[in-house]
Structure 1
Amino acid sequence: MKILIVDDSKSVHRLLEEMLDLPNLEFQHVYNGLEAISAIKETNFQADLILLDWEMPELSGIDTLPIIIKNHPNQTIFMMTTKNSMPEITDAMQKGAKDYIIKPFTKDIIIGKINSLLEGEY
């Protein structure tokens, strides 16, 4: 399984790799929305899951989300953010996010969401 992590914080990238220390996982790292768009435009792009931060420089996650969905309509994307109001959650889901993870989250939360979304592979 391949996961694209899109977050401007390198510490979040490290934390996610530590939390998701599971067999057969491969990670790709980008640090803002523009880098994410470049990554998905590569002809060999394949990710089973994109973990997309909301607040980033260059291009925010919420603005990146519909661009990714336009190019890859069936892409599985989890938004990661400290934003927790119902209108924000609804906005992300309407723009194509499959799930929403509120920071800070625990290992059990993220693994549980991955399990439920990807039909229990892990």
Structure 2
Amino acid sequence: MNKPARSNVLPLPQEPEKKNSPTRNMAPKKTRKRWKVRNLLLLGFLTWAGYVFFFVQSPDFDRLKQDQQQLSTEILQIKETNQELLTKIDQLNDPNYIAELARKKYLMVKDGETLFVQPKQ
């Protein structure tokens, strides 16, 4: 049962080394790297992506950032205006404020009051 599974397989014969081999004495050859189509496509894609990022999208990003800051200031101004209008609504619901406004703007008087108007100089 403890037999090796491949007892009839022989090892490969080894070639004897040649002593006067020209490759043994020479320096190893420098292999020249060839540009393959895949490498050219990769380089082209990376060049295109760099161009798009630096020259197309960066100015758009800066412009959008400025637009966002401008819109933020507009939002703050609109919120202040909204708060002022809400205060004005509360005042217009007050009868005393309405009476005061009518006296100043429309020169109205209560019963028994006398109105004195000064001429403009």
Give the TM-score normalised by the residue count of structure 1. Answer: 0.17
Larger Cα Rg: Structure 1 or Structure 2? 2
Q: Name the structure where helix makes up a greater proportion of residues.
A: 2
Q: TM-score, normalised by structure 2?
A: 0.17
Larger RCO: 1 or 2 (CA < 8 Å, sep 6+) = 1
